[in-house]
Amino acid sequence: MGLSYLEGTCPKCGEKTREQSNTWAYGSPIRFCPRCKQEYLDKRWREVAIDGFDPKSTSPGYYLKAFLFLVAVTVISGGWLYYTTHYKNYYSTLVVTVVIIGAIGAVACLGLSIWIGLGFAAKSNAKYLEESKRRLRDVEYIRKLQAYGYVIPSEYLVGIGNSSDEMQES
């Protein structure tokens, strides 16, 4: 799916950050501040091999419900707009705005529902899962995640030199 941006603040130095991300912020939650160069945890990012996928990224029904809601809002607002302009000789810019935004939102939600339903989201999610699994092959990365409180699934602790129990306790 498309790219978006996450804005935040570095907890170490207070620098405002703006990072490009995928729609659901799948990626490493360990971030680096461009100003102070220190590492920090940003829980908005999902390490999908551990955290799983955002349920909205796998459910066409979620966006179909949003589509239907927005269509209803748009039709009701459009009806009100028609009534006020034709019978009362005025219109509200707020109602015009609701009609426009409702229509755009409905089209976007329908597009997302179709995109997920046709399996394109599953292809993207498979790519994000593979990237996540690749990161979890790095022992140092696993240790950093554990230091931040992540519980690492045992399948990623196999063959890294320490037993699962030792890794989880460290």
> Positive or negative, the Cα torsion across 59, 61, 64, 70?
negative
Residue pLDDT, tens place only, 83-142 = 999 999 999 999 999 999 999 999 999 999 999 999 999 999 999 999 999 999 999 999
Q: Confidence class of residue 163 from pLDDT cuts 50, 70 and 90?
A: very low
**Above 90 in pLDDT, residue 166?**
no
E-state strands within 26-126: 30-32, 39-41
DSSP 156: G
Task: Tell me what the mean pLDDT of segment 2-20 comes to.
Answer: 90
Question: For residues 99 and 103, what is the distance between their CA atoms, to the nearest angstrom?
Answer: 6
For residue 45, how many other CB atoms are within 10 A of its CB? 20
Q: Which two tokens stand for residue 134?
A: 């690749």
The amino acid present at 35, given as its one-letter code, is: R
Residue pLDDT, tens place only, 121-136 = 999 999 999 999 999 9
> Positive or negative, the Cα torsion across 132, 136, 20, 106?
positive
Q: Which residues are CB-contacts of 32 (< 8 A; sequence separation ≥ 6)?
A: 38, 39, 40
> Between 60 and 3, where is the model more confident?
60
Yes or no: say if 146 and 170 are a contact pair by the CB < 8 Å rule.
yes
- The alpha helices in 89-156, defined as continuous H runs, are 93-117, 120-135, 139-147
What percentage of the chain reaches a pLDDT higher than 70? 92
